[in-house]
């Protein structure tokens, strides 16, 4: 049986592999094939998740942003094949910790592993994978150590550091003043992949229910999916935009990158119009170049 996730996995793997070889030549075929294999593994693993928002499509979008960032960065400065590989693999596996059963110690009855010490959490009856939100970053790091730790071409510690930067809320560093850094670029790809999603406004209901299951709505004061849209502009400008400066500079020099930037800007506009009650807010129900969540649980 051919499934949408399988088609997406094959297409993404082929695109990544071809782009690495197109940029660095056929000598990098082994590295390109390795990253392509991780793409298939990640997408097909995440396709098993029942989280409503953090699904394989989210991972696909984040990885596409990461690829576009690399294309732009390569036009600015020398970038090594290993830089491409590690940024892309970090994008691919940053949310794999949401998937129950992805770690060797996971057990539906005994609980799901949440840290390197082997501690577990038991999920409530009927819970979805979104209940692992507080632990998914640590679980993703454990997955990397277990599955990629012996790779000759990938440095697991490098991947772990990049994944750590995708925690919600974003780490408070001055990205605007910082040099290009792999971990901050992965974080930016995660945020832009969510907030630049052409269908994001249609997905806020799914994200709201994930937040509810993870206990985030009470903490954030959200009582309706509409709150995610209405509070988005201030969240974007106060908590997100400063982390996108370097990545945006790279995105601005490619056609695909400019489409992601346009999407981010369009979603801020739609959210502002939605809050003001303007007729233009109706555009938010249409697919556009972007979307966003006031609380990006990237």
**Per-residue model confidence as pLDDT tens for the chain (298 residues):** 889 999 999 999 999 999 999 999 999 999 999 999 999 999 999 999 999 999 999 999 999 999 999 999 999 999 999 999 999 999 999 999 999 999 999 999 999 999 999 999 999 999 999 999 999 999 999 999 999 999 999 999 999 999 999 997 666 654 444 445 999 999 999 999 999 998 888 899 999 999 999 999 999 899 999 999 898 888 899 999 999 999 999 999 999 999 999 999 999 898 888 776 654 444 434 333 333 344 456 6
The continuous run of DSSP H or E covering 112 comes out as strand 112-113
Q: State the DSSP string of 81-135.
A: HHHHHHHHHHHHHTTGGGSTT-STT-BTTTBEE-STT--EEPPPTT--GGGGGGG
Residue 236 DSSP one-character state? I
Percentage, residues of the chain above pLDDT 90: 78
Q: Please report, for the chain, the start and end positions of each structural domain, with discontinuous segments joined by +.
A: 4-285
Q: What is the pLDDT of residue 174?
A: 43
Q: What is the pLDDT of residue 283?
A: 40
Q: Which fold has domain 4-285?
A: Catalytic domain of cyclic nucleotide phosphodiesterase 4b2b (1.10.1300)
pLDDT tens digits along 3-54: 999 999 999 999 999 999 999 999 999 999 999 999 999 999 999 999 999 9
Q: What is the pLDDT of residue 296?
A: 54
Contacts of residue 130, defined as CB under 8 A and 6 or more positions apart, other chains included, come to 51, 52, 53, 54, 98, 209, 210, 213, 214
pLDDT tens digits along 157-173: 999 999 999 997 666 65
């Amino acid at each position: 049986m051919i499934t949408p996730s399988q088609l997406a996995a094959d297409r993404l793997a082929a695109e990544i592999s071809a782009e690495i070889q197109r940029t660095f030549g056929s000598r990098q075929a082994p590295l390109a094939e390795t990253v392509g294999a991780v793409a298939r593994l990640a997408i097909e693993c995440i396709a098993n998740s029942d989280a409503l928002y953090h699904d394989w499509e989210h991972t696909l979008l984040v990885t596409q942003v990461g690829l576009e960032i690399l294309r732009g960065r390569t036009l600015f400065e020398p970038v090594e094949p290993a830089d491409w590989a590690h940024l892309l693999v970090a994008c691919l596996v940053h949310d794999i910790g949401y998937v129950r059963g992805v770690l060797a110690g996971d057990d539906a009855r005994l609980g799901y592993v949440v840290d390197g010490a082997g501690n577990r959490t038991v999920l409530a009856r009927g819970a979805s994978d979104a209940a692992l939100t507080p632990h998914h970053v640590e679980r993703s790091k454990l997955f990397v150590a277990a599955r990629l730790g012996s790779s000759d071409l990938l440095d697991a510690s490098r991947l772990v550091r990049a994944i750590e930067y995708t925690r919600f809320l974003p780490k408070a560093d001055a990205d605007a003043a910082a040099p290009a850094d792999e971990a901050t670029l992965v974080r930016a790809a995660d945020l832009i992949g969510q907030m630049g999603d052409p269908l994001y406004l249609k997905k806020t209901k799914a994200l709201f229910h994930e937040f509810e299951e993870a206990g985030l709505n009470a903490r954030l004061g959200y009582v309706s999916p509409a709150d995610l849209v209405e509070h988005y502009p201030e969240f974007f400008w106060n908590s997100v935009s400063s982390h996108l400066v370097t990545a945006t500079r790279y995105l601005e020099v490619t056609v695909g990158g400019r489409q992601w930037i346009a999407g981010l800007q369009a979603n801020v506009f739609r959210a502002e119009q939605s809050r003001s009650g303007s007729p233009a807010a109706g555009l938010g129900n249409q697919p556009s170049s972007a979307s966003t969540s006031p609380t990006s649980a990237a």
